[in-house]
Amino acid sequence: MAAHLKKRALAEYAHTVVEDGPRPAKQLQLTCRLNNSKSRSTELQQQQQQQHTPSSSGGGGDWLPSALTDPNTNTVFASLLSLPHALPLNADCEQEAVEGLLSLLHSLSTCTSSEADTVEDAAESVQLQQGAEAAVSKQDLLTQVVAVLPLIITARPDNVNVQLANNAVEALCKCGTQWLQKERQKQLQLTQQPALPTVEHSACATSRVLGQTVRAAYTLAQHCHATAPTGQHSGNNSPPHQLLRLALACLSVHQHHLVKVSCLEAAGGVCSRVAGQQENVNPTLRLSSGKKEQRNKTTNSTIAEVVMALLMHSTHHDNRVRTAAFKAMVVCERSGVRLPPEAYTEVVEALDDDYQCVREAAIDLITSIAINDGERKVPPTVDGEEPERLADHAFFRICGCMNDSSVRVRVRAAASLSSIPAVSHQVLLQTLDKKLFSNMRRKLSYHERQAALVSSGQWSKGREWGEDVVQEQLSPETTSLTHSAGAFVHGLEDECLEVRNASLDALALLAEGSQLFANQCLDFLVDMFNDEIEDVRLKAVQVLQRIVRHIKLQEDQLDEILHALKDSWNCIRESVHTLIGSCTFTTTACLQATVAALMDNISRYPQDVSSIQLCMVSLGRRQAGLVAGLVPLLLLTHPYFDAVQPSLHQAPYICKLLLVLNAAAKMPTILPLLEEHTL
């Protein structure tokens, strides 16, 4: 047995294995036309970036507009890639380049539509030979043309050629209308026969190009309005009106989110400019009253159509479309286009949306509506309640977003709270208390209470002396101010730095306009001096500096402020010095504790002497009455005993002298208390 095992071991160790070399990697060549065009586009772009040097100056460089007429698509695409590096062009070259791009756009738009309707190009892309140079697709070429066109015209923002911009907008709108008609025909064909894969892919590319076309036209239309004289483009066939009609048509036909987002953005921006243009028409233009009425009627109907389209897309199934609709409403509301009352109801419901981008846009829209129409009454949700002011209703609805799961939404909500004007003091004070106030419901009159008692059928049993009659119980769910209860408390206690900073900024703006609110939020601001983040502590000090004229510090509040003098960051200490010099104290004990803390600060951080001296100067001028009672204690003087004269080289003694002497300028009774050598 042992011999058998020995034989097997020798055979195992004597066996050799010969391994072959590493196998070569399998090489694949992509023959799909779309991928080849993309790789070719990337290769051309990299070549242009390598050839481009920073030393090339403006005015055109080596770029020539004649390259746009080359029959080779690769050459044209390379010229388009190098064009942004040659901007800005001179006037002649710019006009020639725009004309070449517009002609190229017209030719490519017709070719692209034929590409989308036939399947022969897809079969041809599969039959490409290996090693043949792949041509850039016309879709990519068209995308680059649309992207470069607004860059050329707006290269000089201060000197935009309005005529070129108008021609470009008209050409883009015309091409977009043609593509939209093709899209309608395609949708009709798809209902009659099954869709082919190539047609579906072409439709996606057309959506991308159409969305970029609308965005480019909107960019050019903005510069036309910014540079053109008032009333120059006020006709109903002007480029802005053409863009509006194209955007509305795309919204009703196209279902791709890229197209809808671009059209909503363009519709909101152009609608706001058209509405403002209707009010500011050039007085030199003389039109008959009938033409004026017809033009205004057409413009108003267009604006109403845009508003209805925005409202319809605010409930779209795609969150990106809903966000774009709300942002467009914000632009319209800020420019003076008043939204219907049902828009506020829909945007309030959008605060409970699943996507944070929608909730952020809804907060901005609610804030804009509250700023413009804050006195409007909102119908109550519970029977028996009175209608509320829209400003108060919007305020506590945004307060409810302070407990949102998204940090961005909480930051946006905190920043928006300070933007709503004329909020009731009762609502503001509720944000500083987590407990719901007991008197947050409407007070009923005696007759209403008796009528409710009779109709309820409830009464006191009368078995116990002083037993109360059965009354209505307060329900937090039906109380309108439940959302605002402790909103700023939650914001200041938030775990994220951005939310706490935004809450401090909102508190500062609200406290500057209300002395009552400033005194109520003082304790919360002082507590922020103990925050773990240095930036938050510094911002809390700066907020107190802004509202210091409304407050008077008590001893317990002053202790927290003086504790910040031990902070290791010199910016916080200097800010506290400025704050102390601007404060108003109530008792001499506060002033005495402040001087002691400043003297301790000098011993801890001698480099703060100059800042403390400025603080003593300001403190002496503001607290002259309190300083007069502490002169003997500060200068260590006695009425009939001669003490040791302090050295003038001691920084604490110099600071005390600055405090006393500046107080003596306001209070002459301090001078008899001083020694001769002091003066």
**pLDDT tens profile 314-348:** 999 999 999 999 999 999 999 888 899 999 999 99
Indicate if the pLDDT at residue 354 is higher than 90.
yes
Domains contained in the chain, number: 3
Does residue 253 lie in a domain region? Answer: yes
Indicate if the pLDDT at residue 131 is higher than 80.
no
The position carrying tokens 């945007």 is 347
Does residue 348 lie in a domain region? Answer: no
Please state the pTM of the whole predicted model.
0.77
How large is the average pLDDT for residues 252-259? 89
> What is the extent of the structural domain holding 44?
34-228
pLDDT score, position 139: 82
Cis amide bond preceding 88, omega within 30: yes
Q: Same domain, yes or no, for 109 and 248?
A: no
Indicate if the pLDDT at residue 605 is higher than 60.
yes
Q: What is the pLDDT of residues 491-547, one digit of tens each?
A: 999 999 999 999 999 999 999 989 999 999 999 999 999 999 999 999 999 999 999
Confirm if 249 and 180 have CB atoms less than 8 A apart.
Answer: yes
Q: Same domain, yes or no, for 72 and 181?
A: yes
Does residue 45 lie in a domain region? Answer: yes
Higher pLDDT, 13 or 411: 411
- Give the model's confidence band at 29: pLDDT under 50 very low, under 70 low, under 90 confident, else very high: low
Whole-angstrom CA distances from 50 to 82, 140, 552 are: 11, 21, 66
Q: Same domain, yes or no, for 174 and 250?
A: no
Does residue 197 lie in a domain region? Answer: yes
Does residue 171 lie in a domain region? Answer: yes
Higher pLDDT, 203 or 337: 337
Gap between the Cα atoms of 463 and 476, Å rounded: 31
Q: Same domain, yes or no, for 264 and 199?
A: no
Q: Same domain, yes or no, for 128 and 257?
A: no
Whole-angstrom CA distances from 44 to 3, 50, 253 are: 74, 10, 36
Does residue 329 lie in a domain region? Answer: no
Gap between the Cα atoms of 150 and 160, Å rounded: 11
Find, among 476, 496, 472, the residue nearest to 486 by Cα.
Answer: 476
Share of the chain above pLDDT 90, in %: 37
DSSP 553: B
Q: Same domain, yes or no, for 136 and 60?
A: yes
Confirm if 361 and 323 have CB atoms less than 8 A apart.
Answer: yes
Whole-angstrom CA distances from 479 to 267, 425, 428, 485, 496 are: 39, 17, 16, 11, 29
Q: Same domain, yes or no, for 102 and 176?
A: yes
pLDDT score, position 483: 66
pLDDT score, position 76: 86
Indicate if the pLDDT at residue 372 is higher than 60.
yes
Indicate if the pLDDT at residue 216 is higher than 80.
yes
Q: Same domain, yes or no, for 52 and 138?
A: yes
Amino acid at site 148: V
How large is the average pLDDT for residues 92-102? 87
Last residue of a domain, one of 192, 211, 228: 228
- Give the model's confidence band at 448: pLDDT under 50 very low, under 70 low, under 90 confident, else very high: low
The position carrying tokens 């209070």 is 667
Q: Which of 35-49, 112-126, 161-175, 639-653 has the lowest mean pLDDT?
A: 112-126
Q: Same domain, yes or no, for 71 and 177?
A: yes
Q: Which of 251-260, 297-306, 336-345, 659-668 has the lowest mean pLDDT?
A: 297-306
CB burial string 641-656: b at 16+ within 10 A, e below = eeeeeeeeeebbbbbb
Does residue 647 lie in a domain region? Answer: yes
How large is the average pLDDT for residues 299-315? 89
Does residue 4 lie in a domain region? Answer: no
Confirm if 619 and 594 have CB atoms less than 8 A apart.
Answer: yes
Q: Same domain, yes or no, for 115 and 262?
A: no
Higher pLDDT, 234 or 637: 637
Q: Same domain, yes or no, for 155 and 274?
A: no
pLDDT score, position 88: 83
Q: Same domain, yes or no, for 120 and 88?
A: yes
